Structure 1
Amino acid sequence: MGLSCITMSLSDFYSSNPSYKTRLVLNVRDSKRDEVAAAAAALDLIKNKQVQAIIGPQGSMQADFLIHLGNKSHVPIISFSATSPSLSSIRSSYFIRAAQNDSSQVNAISTVIQAFGWKEAVLVCVDNEFGEGIIPSLANALEEVGTQVPYRSLISPSATDYQILQELYKLMTMQTRVFIVHMLPPLGSRLFAKAKEVGMMSEGYVWILTNGITDLLGSMDSSVVASSMQGVLGIKTYIPDTPNLDNFMV
């Protein structure tokens, strides 16, 4: 999807500016959502293709290494989807984030929690750079509205169904019934399918999603959304409707 949008943008730009003599050439590599593959692709682009900038990578885990690589080689790293707040603390004049920082949504989440008067909430996050990055700012935002975080559940992105069930059983033994989930759709769909299976999607449980899932609901298995996620509340990035956006969507 990202590559399609970038290609269309270039086409639109040059059709609107036919006088431009230079042409931007895209050298495309697939990071395969893997840190090692992303690093190898970046090294190839910098050493062999001598690119002037790298757009990407897709995830925060991959970006963490590429930022240092770009800084060392003086090649700008421009990411439109690496959202972990921890990346902002990496001092590099060669890293440009063209996406919202995950911490931008914590006040919206804490306001919802405050409106319902919930005094405790459990954080359920994927156990990697993306998941852990939001925890400090989210915990602080909840503390400011008088809500405690008695437990932080970290689930591996490669967790088995059995491991997910074990973590859910642990959550069921706690008094807190309010869960804030921060992960991507592949793990999220499995989590909610198992939560439904053990009866945690029934009345009395509260599930709040960050935009890590809600911004990408269209990529999730529709059967999981319909059968296992009814009643879930999600924070979603607001994009104002404009004529330019309408034209681009068409």
Structure 2
Amino acid sequence: MQANFVIGLGEKAQVPIISFSVSSDSLTSTRSPYFFRATQNDSSQVNGIGALVQAFGWKEAVPIYMDDEYGKGVIPYLTDALQAVEAHVPYRSVISPSATDDQIAVELYKLMTMQTRVFIVHMFASLGARLFVKAKEIGVDTILCT
């Protein structure tokens, strides 16, 4: 959301914007001639997660991600990286950026009913912190943070 705002400013002012943090391919220079990404894309970042899953011998992992471009942009690459190490993605958990603590708890309880005990979180730190506090309160086992 912040990247979209800054891209719009660059367009309006016709000033180049260089981002060192945006990693989603959906925000590329084809969308705006004034926006440039100076970081690796999501596809290169998820290979490390896949290697970690493989090293621990985990056969299933559930991504928990934010319901926006930031969250949705990485999921196809993450799923591919997990499949490349023969790990299955049985479910994808999507959490709204405006989710209440009760809504987060409902989703975590749903995850606890599943066989999978490895969860990979990809969201803004503010939402992630709330998720981790709630997960600790209700006893979710294993979570990786991206």
Q: TM-score range by the shorter chain?
A: 0.7 to 0.9
What does the per-residue CA deviation read over 1:186-221, in whole Å, with 9 as the maximum and x for residues that have no partner? 111111111111111xxxx321111xxxxxxxxxxx
1:209 aligned residue: 145
Q: Structure 1 residue aligned with 2:38, among 98, 108, 111?
A: 98
TM-score (normalised: structure 2): 0.88
Answering whether residue 3 of structure 2 is matched by residue 63 of structure 1, we say yes
Answering whether residue 85 of structure 2 is matched by residue 145 of structure 1, we say yes
Counterpart residue type for residue 96 of structure 1: F
Q: How many residues are aligned here?
A: 146
Q: Which aligned segments of 4 or more residues in structure 1 are displaced greater than 4 angstroms?
A: none
Answering whether residue 82 of structure 2 is matched by residue 82 of structure 1, we say no
Shift of 1:85: 3.1
- The percentage of aligned residue pairs carrying the same residue is 65
**Aligned-pair Cα RMSD in Å:** 2.0
Shift of 1:68: 5.6
Counterpart residue type for residue 91 of structure 2: Y
Moved more, 95-104 or 116-125: 95-104
Higher relative contact order (CA 8 A, sep 6+): 2
Q: Secondary structure at the match of 1:131?
A: helix
Shift of 1:178: 0.7
- In structure 1, what is the Cα distance between the partners aligned to 2:31 and 2:129? 35
- In structure 2, what is the Cα distance between the partners aligned to 1:90 and 1:68? 14
Counterpart residue type for residue 88 of structure 2: Q
Aligned pairs for 1:99-248 within 5 A:
99-200=39-140, 205-210=141-146
TM-score (normalised: structure 1): 0.53
User: Does the 8 A contact of 2:28 with 2:36 survive in 1?
Assistant: no
In structure 2, runs of 5+ residues without a counterpart are none
Q: Secondary structure at the match of 1:88?
A: coil
- Give the 3 Å change call, closer, same or farther, for CA 110–154 of structure 1 in structure 2: same
